[in-house]
Amino acid sequence: MIQNTMFNTQVIKPLQLDTKTAQVSSSPSESLQNFGDYLKDAINQVSEQEKSASNMTEKLMLGEVNVDQAMITAEQALLSLQFTTQVRNKAIEAYQEIMRTQI
């Protein structure tokens, strides 16, 4: 992910795997729990980006930040939301394909 550090805006970290989720679990229920935690963290990060974009918009209205800074933050939040939506769509498609598979 390309990060623009030219402007003095809040730096938003890209999504990263946690070291605890990368470990091999001993049971399927543990790996399901780890995957659920990873998804929850990813959605929370997207939510934080949305809040950051909202805050930057408010600061723009008050004249505290430039238009460039607010637009960059808003575009980052929009891209994260679009990516999350596409991942959800692919997961639903995979689930539906599995359900259509005959045994």
The predicted model scores a pTM of 0.65
The pLDDT assigned to 10 comes to: 55
- 49 in Cβ contact with 76 (< 8 Å): yes
Asked if residue 89 belongs to a domain, the reply is yes
Asked if residue 7 belongs to a domain, the reply is no
The domain total for the chain is 1
Is 83 a residue whose pLDDT tops 80?
A: yes
Degrees (nearest 5) of the Cα angle 42, 48, 50? 110
User: pLDDT by residue (tens digit) across 29-82?
Assistant: 888 788 889 889 999 999 999 999 999 999 999 999 999 999 999 999 999 999
Q: Which domain holds residue 52?
A: 28-100
Buried b / exposed e over 8-46, threshold 16 CB at 10 Å, is ebeebeeeeeeeeeeeeeeeeeeeeebeeebeeebeebb
Asked if residue 4 belongs to a domain, the reply is no
Degrees (nearest 5) of the Cα angle 18, 55, 51? 35
- 26 in Cβ contact with 39 (< 8 Å): no
